[in-house]
Amino acid sequence: MSDTQHNIPNELKATAKAHANIAVAKYWGKRNSDLNLPFFDSVSFNVEDLTTETTAVWNEDDFRDALSINGWQVPEHTLGRLTRILNTIRSLTGITKRCILSSKNNFPLSTGLASSASGYAAAAAAAAAAAGLELSESELSSLARLGSGSAARSIPAGWTRWHAGNLEDGSDSHAVSIAPPDHWPLHVFVIQVSEGPKSISSSEAMQQCQSSPYWPTYLQQASQAADFAQNAILQRDFAALTEAMHTNALQLHALAMTCNPPICFFAPKSIEILQHILRASRGIQVCCTLDAGANVVVLCEETAYPFVKNDIIAFGLPFVQSRIGGGVTVQAKPPHLSSE
């Protein structure tokens, strides 16, 4: 982020909106956990209807940074990863003020619905814009990565690839768009199997998974998953996308179940839905994935849509129906604050 531009605006306030993303080829394991640098590339799509909107204000009068999410004040000692983002902005701009962030999420936190991705992407974009820091998309993606790895992929639009990079400082570890949202307008269903918070954080689980006897094989297989997924997406090859999603997700869950102590992210309903979609995918264009949680995300083509929607309603669980989403958007002066 050396060639960044910086003009400190009069009013140090901005709002940003970012979408959650779901990985087709997942990020799992860090080569550097301070900087959230991954072992290998990952590929995902943004979800249009799962969003976080965050307003950031740099304020002279406050003694400490603060974050509220849906009106709930996040305890100061848990701001750690956000502080990394804010300190980076302070060192790039010379701003010494504190940053007050208020966030609105339109979906439950920490249930495997990738709230950290949209959360840190929106926070990084809002805080940087409020500080007058003009970052390129790659630089902003690197900045969001400091909060949570997958947040790097919520900065660019549509289908995105996070390049793991090789540099020790992580400056080449950022996501880029590989195709816009309308490249392949699939239907997305996010089925909420679990409402409660996850029992283990992704970072902890990633670390624990390295104790599995299958870790070396997983590392070797997962390192090739991004190329395979990207080709499937660019060619709009649904059979290949299905293979990419199912293989990659189930390898991750097999790894988790075989580490010490074992981790099982599935709830009984996750398995019921998974079995149903695996069966259905032999006949119609539908596939699914599960992140480090119990929720199931289903993708389907237009031709399969009526059947898939009926089946999903029949599961009797809350779900969000959506499309492939855009990238982060920033308003330097949000309309609802313009009269203040």
Q: How many residues bind ligand PMV (CB under 6 A)?
A: 14
How many CA atoms, within 13 angstroms, populate the side-chain half-sphere of residue 315?
Answer: 26
CB-based contacts of 209, cutoff 8 Å, min separation 6: 28, 29, 215, 218, 255, 256, 259, 263
Interface segment toward ligand PMV; rule CB under 6 A; list 91-99, 114-122, 317-325, 327-335: 114-122
Residue 61 beta carbon to ligand PMV: minimum distance, rounded to whole angstroms:
33
Residue 52 engages ligand PMV in binding (rule: CB under 6 A): no
Residue 207 engages ligand PMV in binding (rule: CB under 6 A): no
Instruction: Read off the tokens for 326.
Output: 């855009």
CB-based contacts of 41, cutoff 8 Å, min separation 6: 25, 161, 162, 163, 164, 223, 226, 227
Q: Of 27 and 238, which has the nearer Cβ to ligand PMV? A: 27
**Alpha carbon of 44 to those of 19, 23, 146, 155, 302: distances in Å?**
12, 4, 18, 12, 20
The closest alpha carbon to 162, from 324, 330, 38, 28, belongs to: 38
Would strands 5-6 and 133-134 be described as parallel, antiparallel, or unpaired?
A: antiparallel
Residue 228 engages ligand PMV in binding (rule: CB under 6 A): no
How many CA atoms, within 13 angstroms, populate the side-chain half-sphere of residue 255?
Answer: 27
The closest alpha carbon to 115, from 256, 337, 320, 313, belongs to: 320
C-alpha span between 159 and 241 (Å, rounded): 12
The three-class DSSP label of residue 115 is helix
Residue 163 engages ligand PMV in binding (rule: CB under 6 A): no
Among 88, 93, 105, 116, binds ligand PMV (CB under 6 A): 116
Residue 98 beta carbon to ligand PMV: minimum distance, rounded to whole angstroms:
25
Q: Of 291 and 301, which has the nearer Cβ to ligand PMV? A: 291
Encoded one letter per residue, x for contact with ligand PMV by CB under 6 A and - for no contact, window 120-159 reads: ----------------------------xxx---------
Interface segment toward ligand PMV; rule CB under 6 A; list 60-68, 110-118, 183-191, 329-337: 110-118
Tally of residues, the chain: 340
Residue 275 beta carbon to ligand PMV: minimum distance, rounded to whole angstroms:
21
The closest alpha carbon to 279, from 311, 249, 233, 309, belongs to: 311
**Restricting to residues 271-330, which ones interact with ligand PMV according to CB under 6 A?**
291-292
Q: Of 132 and 149, which has the nearer Cβ to ligand PMV? A: 149
Encoded one letter per residue, x for contact with ligand PMV by CB under 6 A and - for no contact, window 8-27 reads: ---------------x--xx
Q: Of 49 and 309, which has the nearer Cβ to ligand PMV? A: 49
Residue 39 beta carbon to ligand PMV: minimum distance, rounded to whole angstroms:
12
Residue 46 engages ligand PMV in binding (rule: CB under 6 A): no
**Alpha carbon of 111 to those of 230, 250, 270, 290, 315: distances in Å?**
27, 18, 13, 11, 18
Q: Of 114 and 135, which has the nearer Cβ to ligand PMV? A: 114
Residue 117 beta carbon to ligand PMV: minimum distance, rounded to whole angstroms:
6
Residues that bind ligand PMV (CB under 6 A): 23, 26-27, 42, 114, 116-117, 148-150, 202-203, 291-292
